[in-house]
Every structure is written in C-alpha cells, then in structure tokens.
A and B are shown apart, each in its own frame.
Chain A
Amino acid sequence: MISREVCARVLAKAVSTGADYAEIFAEYTVNHAITMISDKVDSVNDGVIAGAGIRVFKGLRSVSASTVDTSEAGLLRCAEKAADALGQGTAAISVNLRERLFGDIHPVKIVPSTVANAEKVAVLKEGYFAAKEYSDCIKQVTGTLLDVDHNILIASTDGVYAQDRQIRTRITVSAVAEKNGEAQTGFFGPGRRMGMEMFEHEVNAHDVGIKAAEQAVIMAGAGYCPAGVMPVAIGNGFGGVIFHEACGHSLEASSVAYGLSQFAGKLGQQIANPKVTAIDDGTIPNAWGSINIDDEGTPAQKKILIENGVLKTYMVDKFNGRRMGMESTGSARRQNYSYTTTSRMTNTFIAEGPDSNDDIIASMEYGLFAKSMGGGSVNPATGEFNFAVNEGYLVRNGKICEPVRGASLVGKGSDVIMDIDMVGKQLDLGTGMCGASSGSIPTTVGEPLIRVSKITVGGR
C-alpha cells in the first residue's frame, strides 16, 4: 500500500493551513458474493473497492475529503482540498510516522479470495438445499455466500502508521414457506471474521439452511401476535439487538458528544437494572464485529459499558472525544474510505446473569417469548426504538405455547433497560450489519435469554 514517506508528505500538506491533526485512511477491498435462487446460482458479485479518505481537525472542527486516486499526486490533491476547506493558517506540527505492528488476534487459515468459485458454490448448495428440502411448504429459498478482504492503512499526525487486513465470511439463507395461500419467511445468516475454515468447525452450512426453513414453516402456520403491553422473554444470540438499539447507539460518542442521547452526562449513574452488565468487545478472536485496530488506528478494546446497571463508559472516537474530553476507546469505524469515521459498536452484548431459562419462562403468567429477532432502529435523542420479532411464541402460565407472527417491539431505551429484570446464563452472539452515518459495518449483538417485565408488543 502507500509508503510511510508518501503518507508523511501527504499529512504535511494536510496540516499546512493550521490543522492540529491529520489522518489518511486508505483501503483496498475485494468483495465477493455468490447468490442462489430458484435452485440455481443466479449471480456472482465480484468487485474491488479502492480509495482514500483524508481528515483534518482544528479544535472542534473537522474536514474530510475522499478520493479514488491513491497515487501520491492524487492524495496530495485530496489533502490540499481538505487543508483549503479548513481555512487560512500555517503548519504548526511536524509529521513523524512510526510504524506500529499489531498482533493479529483474528488469524485466518483459508483466505477466501484464493478459493475457487466451485468450492464456495458447493458449501452454499449444502445450506441452500437443506432449506429447500426441509419441507414441501418451502416454496423458495435465497442463499448467499459472501466474503470480504478489507485491507486498510491508517497514518496520522499522532505518529500512527498501521495496517490491518480484515477478512470476513458469511452465509445467509432466507426461506419462504407457504401454507393456506399465505407466505412467511425464515432467515439465518451467521458470519465470522475468518476465512473458509469457518465451515470446518464454526458454522455448519446445512444447519443454517435447516434453521431458516424451520422458522419459515413454523411462522407459516402461526396466527397473529396479540397487541398490548406484556412481559417478553427475548432469546439469546441475535436477541441482543434489543441492547444494540435500546441502549448501544445512545452510548456512541456520535450522539453523546452533542447531547443528543438519553444517556449523555450520566457516567457513574444507575441507568439500567442492576441485573444488566453490558460489554462492547472488539477483541473477541474471529468474531464478526472484531477488529485489530479501529479505523483511526487505535487498538481494539474490551469495554464494560454498563456494570450492574451503572454507566461506566461511552464508545468514543478521536474527533468526538475532543468535545467530550475523553480518549478514544477504539470505536472509530467506517464502511469505506468515502464515509466520515465516527464512533460505532463492535461486538456488543449483555453479559451472563444468575437466572435459569426455566425460571425466566416460568415467571411469566401471560406474555411473549421472542425466540428470534430481526433488525431494528432507534432515535438516540429520544430513545424511542423498534425491532421486529421473527419467531415468537405466546407464554401462558409459565409455559411456551403456540407460535405467533407479525410482531414488533417498541419502547423507550431508558425505560426498557431498567425493565430487564431477569438475565439468563447462556450467552450467545448473533451476526448483523449496522447502518449509521459512517455507513454499513459488521457488528455482533448478543445476550443470554432475558426477561423484560413490560414492553409494548405491536401485534394485531
């Protein structure tokens, strides 16, 4: 990629009008995706993303510029554009880059870009046909095998000169089941920060297909979820999206630094039920949302966000950290060079608690067991969030009863996080993509089975 000497010259240009910080983020990414539908390989997406983003700060002002031209001349032009936009002034800092080597805590054994299409198709077909052949009710299946080889280089006037190679692999299967003229869907899509060895011991493609098909078939036979306020037990794994939406986004510096968070100014305060301990950990080996360094070159960290209900820290990037008087927590992330970095989550989950799954379900006289969750969203300022239930069951007299479909859960983050009053013992993680101002990035959500004592269930 770009040499230390070139980076130093580009950074010197970037700070030439008086910036107190400048940074280059350059990338070379190979995306690959094979999609199947109607029992056939339908498309192969194969692309290279390459470019660079340059940011300069002066106090609390930030300027960013991006370019697809990563030659020295192209980078210098981009740096000049950023420097000019910052205004008039003269350079006050000298650039001295020191190469930093970070141990790779996410080793990759089989680099996907070196694996032939045919081999990937074989894995995809295993998952695809497991779903298709699961039941006569399964009318359509879509399956995708995708891999990303994301090479990044970050150089900044802090002296950082660091590179990382982030390889990710994911399989997704979506199944459609029909019963009585109505169609319902099921989905499962695990991924890891690893290569094709993911299919050797971490993820069984066949099981992925079965899981998606099973969900579609169960839901196709289900009645509508009733509406109203009730206790809800949310299953482990992707169920952790409740924390991601209801609380996680409101702990990102991108909202906290501007006061646009229900949790701004609440460090050290009890913001959640004492049963809740929540962690953002970018260092989990080979997890989907893991990084070695963030997109500003800061090493990944494990942060306890909330400990026994007390707010311990936020997720902070360098720019927003200036406004908050806080150091970066290794949380700066961006989809690619053309987005402006901001603070984001990595692998974020509610830690194990003391309650058994049986006790949690038994505690509910009438409520909903949300076994599998879909995506959601939140407004961090007001805390209002929503997320969809992909597979739900009614609970009566402490027993899991019939499946119900078509529900979403809504509420206010600061309320619901207080109402998580039971936390189970088996933590599991789920794979997702999170969209925000700096683009779509891989994140993990997670939790054990939890109970929310009351929440609005959007049924009908």
Chain B
Amino acid sequence: MMNFNEFKRLVIDSAESLGIKDYELYYATSESTDVGTFKHEINEFSSSVDGGVCFRCLINGKMGYASTELLSAEEAERIVKSAAENAATLESEEEQFLVAGGQEYKTVEKKEYALPETAELVKTALDVDAALYAADPLVIDGSQGGAGVYTNRVAIYNSKGLDLSCENSSAYYLAAAVVSKDGEMSDSYEMQLGSLKDADIAKTVKKAVDDAKAMLNADVAPTGAYPVVFAPRAMSSLLAVYSSVFSSENAQKGLSRLSGREGEKIASDIVTITDDPFYKDSALPMSFDAEGSPTYTKNVVEKGVLKTLLYNLKTANVAGVKTTGNASKGGYSAAVGIRPFTFYIAPGSLSEEELFKKAGKGVYITELGGLHAGANAVSGDFSLQSSGFMIEDGKKTDKAVKSFTVAGNFYSLLNQITALSDTVEKPRSGGSTAFLSPTVLVEGLTVAGK
C-alpha cells in the first residue's frame, strides 16, 4: 500500500490531467492503543489504525468532495473524477474558497512527554483496577481500569500553495467504578488525559467511587420550579449541545435563533463565553482550522453581549466579515462546517458554597443524560435526564436524587444565569474541541420527578 505522499502525487496528476485548477487534499489518520481490565486481569486490548483522504475541488464555483481510505492508483483517479461529478450536482450559490499559502500561524505550545509503551498502559490499568477494589467494600466486579494512548495526524495541501500538517499524541487512563448495595447498582467514571507518570490514581479512583456511592439508593426529586445549580460537568455538556447555535452557518440557514443578533444582549451581564484554540490544557491546540485559516482566541459572548458568531470562509463571505478560523470537519470525509475549539463559560468570583447559599432551596445537578435527544438546538427547548443532590437551607445536602428531568430553553437560560463559581476545570476531551464551565446557578427551570 502506498503512503500519503505517493498518493498525493497521483491525485495531483489526475486533477491536472482533467484540467482541475483549484483543489485540496485533506488527510487525517489516527492510531490508538487501549487496554481495559475485568476482575484484576487485562481482558481487552485493542490497537486501531484508521483514517483517509478527502479530495475537494472548485469547478464552476461549486466545491465537489470525494474521499477514500484506500490509497491506491485506482482510487487516486476515482476520487478526482467523483469530486468533479459531485460538483456538477451541487446547486447552492454561496461562493466557495480555498486558503492561499504563506499565511502566518501562531506557534502552539505543548507540554511534550514520552508516550507510554504498552507495558506501562497495562500496569496503569491494573493499578487502577486494584485501587478501585481497595477503595471500598461496596465496589463490585464490572469496575474497570483502563489506559490508552493515541496519535492523530492532519495534513492539508492545496493548489494555492497551502501545505500544513500537525500531529498530536496523548495518553489517558480511566477509572470506572461500579458499587452495589441492597441489590441496587450505581456507577461513575473518571478519565484523566496526560502523562501517566504524573497520574494521581488514588485521587481519581476515590472520586469515581465516591460519586458512584453517593448515588446509591438515590430518590427521585420532587416536581417543581426551583433554582438549579449545575456542576461544571453538567453545564459543559449542555454548552456542548448548544454550541451549534453560535455557528454562523446555522444562523444563516435559519437554524439558530441568534441569527442577526450580533452586537445585541443575549445573556446575563455576568456571562462571558470564549473560544480559545490555544487553551493551555487543551489536548489538541490548533494553529489552523480545517480550511487552513489561522486560528485565534475570541470572546463570542462578552458580559452578556453577542460579540461574534463563529465563521468559516464561506459564511464569512456571505456575512461580509472575516473568517474567525472556525472551519471544521467532523471526520476527514465530511464537508467543511463550523465548530469551536476550547469553548468555555468564563469563571466568576463566588465559591460553590456561596452559590448553594444563593440558591437557598433547589437542586444541584451533577450529571445530565440523553443530550443527543432531549435538547433541540433549533428551538432551544430541552428536557433532560438528571441526577444530583438536593440543596436545602443554602447548603448542598447528601440527599441524592436521580431519574428526574430539568426542562427549559437554552436561549432563555442564558438570561437566567444569576451566579458563576470560580471553578476552573481541565478539558476532558482528547480532541481539539472541548467545552468547559464553572458551577452555574440558574433561576426559573422546571424539575419533573415524583
């Protein structure tokens, strides 16, 4: 099988023989090794390699795409021909662009460390496994230690002199705790990215086990309208689902209510939301986006005012602004879309205790579920499975609650945020996109339980 550079040469020849002048090759691969335990043994080991090449070309103003994972001479010819045919099928009239070479890109600063060998992955997973069982007598079989390492590579080459590439590797380990009491099970997991040498396994395992134990025999929350305090994990998952409303593509297509609202107030004064491609703890800081434009840090919402939506070249041209460097691809074969990098609600100044005090009587939600189904990005309506703890007399209690929903509307919620904690979390995502939030107090949501 040929390598990318050999394949690239054939694709270029093929494009030129068809008289195609404007084209791009986007190449992405990923390699990973993962191990997992069951009952003190490594029971699963997997090593995976995948990835492919996407060719796109501009013909009569239309951008046609075709992709392949098979780097062969036949495929080099096929993707060029298919992309040209696909371009002829397109009707949308928005102007399409390729990025010219020779632009300036900010240098990415990354903490480099030696990637673990398989033996170290195995040892870490077994150490986590042992720590889980040692942490508490309620821990049962099915609890799992895991560790892994992955490397992602991206390269973009085009006919306008662009030739970019980046490579990123990371290790991780995870602890999945399952506890059981009186025939009822509860589980929780924690994952840590970064060098395994710095791993504080005991701390990670304790958090997973404590969280699982806290939810044992949890009650269903009572139905009502309460102040709700969202833990960072819960609010960042909500932000992730609704990040699409900040896409200019969605706004231009009428799929976001933020269409035409740049410069207007859309959130409480205390809300600032930032998109940072160079976030210090990001697993994959990026100096260029999926089109090859340079990236930069910007406030999307500043003190409640929508400063900008996120743009790529096509949508920026439609709006008459500059790209914000947020072109993205959901996989090598996908059409160019829009996505943030590390997208976070800026922390406030209060402690979590102060948020509980402000809430008085309410619900503290630590986890949200079913976000792909229960949250509608077009209407903003959400109704989501939740778990957490009751807040009484201005304090978080140990009364765990689960199997209830929290319902509201994201566009309204932005205005219903009344306090933010000073909590700063580390990204849990291994990719270039991550969502972060402090602990957030929201007034006026409905809880449905018993």
Taken residue by residue from 286 to 306, chain A's Cβ proximity to chain B (1 for < 8 Å, 0 otherwise) reads as 000000000000000000000
The number of residue pairs between A and B whose CB atoms lie closer than 8 Å in the complex comes to 256
Contacts of A382 in B (CB 8 A): 184-187
Known: A46-B65, A46-B82, A258-B141. A410 touches B92 (CB 8 A): no
Interface residue B165 (Cβ < 8 Å from any Cβ of A): no
Shortest Cβ distance from B90 into chain A, in angstroms?
5
Contacts of B374 in A (CB 8 A): 374, 386-388, 408, 458
A47 near B372 with CB under 8 A, answer no
Q: Which residues in window 51-96 of B have CB below 8 A to A?
A: 51-52, 54, 64-71, 75, 78, 82-83, 85-86, 88-93
A44 near B43 with CB under 8 A, answer no
Known: A44-B65, A456-B220, A456-B405. A66 touches B185 (CB 8 A): no
How many angstroms from the CA of A140 to the CA of B178 in the assembled complex? 45
A185 near B383 with CB under 8 A, answer no
B407 near A459 with CB under 8 A, answer yes
B50 near A42 with CB under 8 A, answer no
How many angstroms from the CA of A113 to the CA of B85 in the assembled complex? 13
A412 near B89 with CB under 8 A, answer no
Shortest Cβ distance from A252 into chain B, in angstroms?
14
B185 near A65 with CB under 8 A, answer no
Taken residue by residue from 372 to 384, chain A's Cβ proximity to chain B (1 for < 8 Å, 0 otherwise) reads as 0011110101101
Cross-chain contact of B47 among A65, A227, A336 (Cβ < 8 A): A65
Contacts of A42 in B (CB 8 A): 90-92
How many angstroms from the CA of A337 to the CA of B402 in the assembled complex? 37
Contacts of A60 in B (CB 8 A): 38, 41, 43
How many angstroms from the CA of A387 to the CA of B220 in the assembled complex? 17
B45 near A62 with CB under 8 A, answer yes
A410 near B405 with CB under 8 A, answer yes
Interface residue A425 (Cβ < 8 Å from any Cβ of B): no
Instruction: Give the contact stretch, choosing among B199-207, B250-258, B271-279, B343-351.
Output: B250-258
Dominant SS among interface residues on chain B: strand
Contacts of A340 in B (CB 8 A): 44, 46
Interface residue A3 (Cβ < 8 Å from any Cβ of B): no
Interface residue B333 (Cβ < 8 Å from any Cβ of A): yes
Shortest Cβ distance from B147 into chain A, in angstroms?
14
A48 near B75 with CB under 8 A, answer yes
Q: Which residues in window 50-91 of A have CB below 8 A to B?
A: 50-51, 53, 60-71, 74, 81-82, 85-86
How many angstroms from the CA of A41 to the CA of B54 in the assembled complex? 20
Known: A375-B372, A382-B185. A85 touches B82 (CB 8 A): no
B378 near A185 with CB under 8 A, answer yes
Instruction: Give the contact stretch, choosing among A176-184, A309-317, A359-367, A443-451.
Output: A176-184
How many angstroms from the CA of A395 to the CA of B252 in the assembled complex? 38
Dominant SS among interface residues on chain A: strand
Contacts of A337 in B (CB 8 A): 50
A260 near B370 with CB under 8 A, answer no
Shortest Cβ distance from B76 into chain A, in angstroms?
12
Interface residue B142 (Cβ < 8 Å from any Cβ of A): yes
Cross-chain contact of A388 among B49, B54, B370 (Cβ < 8 A): B370
A68 near B51 with CB under 8 A, answer yes
A62 near B44 with CB under 8 A, answer yes
Number of interface residues of A (CB under 8 A): 83
Interface centre among B86, B257, B382, B405 (most CB of A within 10 A): B405
B49 near A387 with CB under 8 A, answer no
Interface residue B118 (Cβ < 8 Å from any Cβ of A): yes
B93 near A40 with CB under 8 A, answer yes
A61 near B41 with CB under 8 A, answer yes
Contacts of A336 in B (CB 8 A): 50
A459 near B140 with CB under 8 A, answer no
Q: Which residue of B lies closest to A38 (CB)?
A: B253
Contacts of A50 in B (CB 8 A): 68-70
Q: Which residues in window 372-408 of B have CB below 8 A to A?
A: 372-374, 376, 378-379, 381-385, 387, 402-408
Interface residue A34 (Cβ < 8 Å from any Cβ of B): yes
A37 near B253 with CB under 8 A, answer yes
Contacts of A71 in B (CB 8 A): 1
Interface residue B448 (Cβ < 8 Å from any Cβ of A): yes
Contacts of B141 in A (CB 8 A): 258-259
Interface residue A118 (Cβ < 8 Å from any Cβ of B): yes
Using a CB–CB cutoff of 8 Å, the interface residues on chain A facing chain B are 28, 31, 34, 37-38, 40-51, 53, 60-71, 74, 81-82, 85-86, 117-118, 121, 139-140, 176, 182-185, 224-225, 227-229, 258-260, 262, 336-340, 374-377, 379, 381-382, 384-388, 405-408, 410-412, 456-460
28 contacts between A and B (CB under 8 A): A34-B89, A37-B253, A44-B89, A45-B335, A62-B43, A62-B44, A64-B46, A66-B49, A67-B49, A184-B376, A227-B448, A228-B448, A229-B450, A258-B38, A262-B185, A375-B370, A376-B370, A377-B369, A381-B142, A386-B369, A386-B385, A408-B370, A408-B373, A411-B403, A456-B404, A456-B405, A456-B449, A456-B450
